[in-house]
Each structure stands twice: as C-alpha cells, then as structure tokens.
Structure 1
Amino acid sequence: MAESSGKPSVLFVCVHNAGRSQMAAAWLTHLAGDRVEVRSAGSAPGDAVNPAAVEAMAEVGIDISAETPKILTIDAVRESDVCITMGCGDTCPVFPGKRYLDWKLDDPAGQGVEAVRPVRDAIKVLVEGLIAEIAPRTGP
C-alpha cells in the first residue's frame, strides 16, 4: 500500500496519456471514489486529451474535458502500488515489489467516438475487476 494515504494507488500509462489511460483513470475515480489513489501519465504525452475520448466518457456521465496529458515520471511509478500499461511497451520503469499489468486495448488516437466507445467499455470492465481485487467495498 502507498504509505501516504493507506489507500492502494494505481498508475495508468499509455504513450500519449490522451485516451486510454485518461479514460481508465476517470473510470477508476468514478467507480472507486476515494478508496483508491489514481494517477495517469504518458511516455510521450500528447498536447490534449483525445476529443473522441472526452465525448465517449461524457456519454456515460464522466467529464474528462479538464484533464491534460502528463509526462511519466519515475516518482509516479515509485509512488504507485499497481502500474497498468496500455500499449507503451518497455517505456515504463520497473521497480521491484510493484505490480505490473498490461491491458491490451486498441489505440483510439485519431479515431471518432464510434471507435472509442468499445475501448471505453472494455476499460470499464477491466477497472471493475481491478477494484474488486484491490479495493473491494466493505460493509453494507
């Protein structure tokens, strides 16, 4: 567990931090609330979040329009319990004792909202499984 808050922390990484990792971070925040600390970053961040990803998330009531792509830092990895990569290959630094997952998801860059919707929905299913594992609801 991350020492700062006692909550599990998750870092989502994709190349541009403009689509998949932003949607995953938004889903995790939306579905887990304050039970999980959420970060996202890119190995080569884009200039802005993919407008089709913003639109696809808005369709399910989640606003990511204010998010901005961020550069992946060693500290972000060091401070996270689980690092989830999405098609960025070997660019994510590896630290012993961390859990690494690689989610195989199509890159929605440059595609319309029709192409982004199935990626959005696949990410939701993966995030729900992750929450059940690292931050299950307790009590009634």
Structure 2
Amino acid sequence: DIYGIDEALYRKNRDELTELLNLSQLLRTPARQLSLGQRMRCEIAASLLHSPKLLFLDEPTIGLDAVSKLAVRDFIRQLNAARKTTVILTTHDMQDIEALASRILLIGKGKILMDGTLDDIRRGGESIDETVASLYQQYDI
C-alpha cells in the first residue's frame, strides 16, 4: 500500500524473492527468532518488493557466517544483472568490495579520497586492504 504497487506484481516479487533468498521456511517465524543472516535476507527481500531502480545497502554482510555472506553477495549480483537495479553499497568488508563493486568511492573525513575501479584503486599489485590502509595513513584517518 505504501508504494502503491499492483497486487499481482507484489505477489510475483514476493514469490520470486522468497525463492531466490530461500525464505519459505522463515515466512511464519517471528523476527525475534531469526538469526542475523535470516533477518538480513528478509530485510533485503522487503526492500525489493516494490521493484526499486536504486537500492542502498549499508554493511549488508556484517556479522554473517561465510555461507550467508556468499548467498547475499550472489543475490546482489543476480539482482543487478537480472533487474538492472543499481546497488549502492557501504561497507568496510574488502571481500564485499572485490566481489560486488564495479566502481568504488573511498571516502574519509567527508572527502572522496579515490574514485575508480578496483584495478584503479590497487597500487602496484597491492591488495585493496593495503591500498586502503596506506590511504588512511596518508590522510591521517
């Protein structure tokens, strides 16, 4: 009702997201009884029911076990490919960045420190962790 989506589209999205995020066993479970990974998957599904063109995710894999992290990352990639949804991701998890980002903005003290692709940001074969650490030292962050 809030987003004014057609009932048929809502049901289609709900059913598709339930399957893609493996939520069928969770639909009747109270939120307080869900694990962090289960809650995260439910929150992602809820944010996509109205088919947004732009999705903001803040630390979507924080605190998740390895299996849940991989599932969430895979889902985000599929969402972007299938629905062309733009995903803006804020994270400190370098593995999320390497797995998901095609463009990276590194922000520190309210300023854009770097803007480019993963390869642009890596310096001379350094890992992204080493690059970010050296930038933070350089900018006293």
If the length of structure 1 is used for normalisation, what is the TM-score? Answer: 0.26
Q: With CA pairs under 8 Å and 6+ residues apart, which has the higher RCO, 1 or 2?
A: 1
Indicate the structure with greater helix content. 2
If the length of structure 2 is used for normalisation, what is the TM-score? Answer: 0.26
